């Protein structure tokens, strides 16, 4: 699975975004260590705060299928665009960090593809070690 293929799957998922309030379509494609892909799109709600982001619907789809080891995620806004990367919100960074801070995050950018690690996107993340009482 190439980065470009993962981006294409995220773009297809964005077509299914349910976003009547923002009209802002987001798609995500999450790659497991075993090579499977789980996609997500944003799902909005009339009670705005209940909206779920594309990245988190992808995580939910993967986890319910029994996957917890992720190597990469592609995140896009709508169809192939040359806009700035569609940066994931803070909540989604934290939810992804639960599984692998070293996963590759893949975006479209004016220069073409852009990749970063989740660790770069979310330094000093909160994690389970903090929950352990000394």
**Site residues for ligand THU per CB under 6 A:** 19, 22, 24, 26, 42, 44, 51, 53-55, 88-89, 92
Measured from the CB atom, the residue of 31 and 96 that comes closer to ligand THU is 96
Measured from the CB atom, the residue of 48 and 130 that comes closer to ligand THU is 48
Report the nearest approach of ligand THU to the CB of residue 52 (Å): 8
Interatomic CA distance for residues 61 and 30, integer angstroms = 9
Report the nearest approach of ligand THU to the CB of residue 73 (Å): 11
44 annotated active-site: no
- Contact status, residue 10 vs residue 76, Cβ threshold 8 Å: yes
Q: How far apart are the first and last CA of the chain?
A: 43
Q: Distance between alpha carbon 127 and the CA centroid of its chain, in Å?
A: 19
Per annotation, catalytic residue among 55, 84, 111, 120? 55
* Pairing between β-strand 104-109 and β-strand 112-117 as defined by DSSP bridges: antiparallel
Measured from the CB atom, the residue of 66 and 84 that comes closer to ligand THU is 84
Report the nearest approach of ligand THU to the CB of residue 133 (Å): 33
Whose CA is closest to 104, among 1, 16, 15?
A: 1
Which positions are annotated as active-site residues?
55
């Amino acid at each position: 699975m190439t980065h470009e293929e993962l981006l294409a799957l995220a773009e297809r998922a964005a077509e299914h975004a349910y976003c009547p309030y923002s009209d802002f379509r987001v798609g995500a494609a999450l790659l497991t260590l075993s090579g499977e892909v789980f996609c997500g799109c944003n799902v909005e709600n009339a009670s705005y705060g209940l909206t779920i982001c594309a990245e988190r619907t992808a995580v939910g789809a993967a986890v319910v299928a029994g996957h917890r080891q992720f190597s990469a995620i592609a995140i896009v806004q709508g169809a192939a665009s040359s806009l700035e990367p569609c940066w994931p919100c803070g909540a989604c960074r934290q939810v992804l960090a639960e599984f692998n801070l070293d996963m590759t995050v893949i975006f479209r950018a004016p220069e073409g593809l852009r990749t970063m690690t989740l660790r770069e996107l979310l330094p000093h993340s909160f994690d389970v070690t903090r929950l352990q009482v000394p």
